[in-house]
Amino acid sequence: MERLKEAGHSIYVWSAGGQHYSERTVERHGLSEWVDGCFDKHPKVDPRPDVIIDDDWYLVEKYGGYCVSQYKEVNESDRELLEIVEKLAERGDL
* Domain ranges (residues) in the chain: 2-91
Tell me if the bond preceding 47 is cis, omega within 30° of 0.
Answer: yes
pLDDT at residue 74 in the model = 87
Q: Does the pLDDT at position 22 exceed 90? A: yes
Which of 41, 20, 23, 21 is CA-nearest to residue 32? 23
pLDDT at 41: 86
Tens-digit pLDDT profile for residues 39-82: 998 767 888 888 999 999 999 999 999 999 998 898 999 999 99
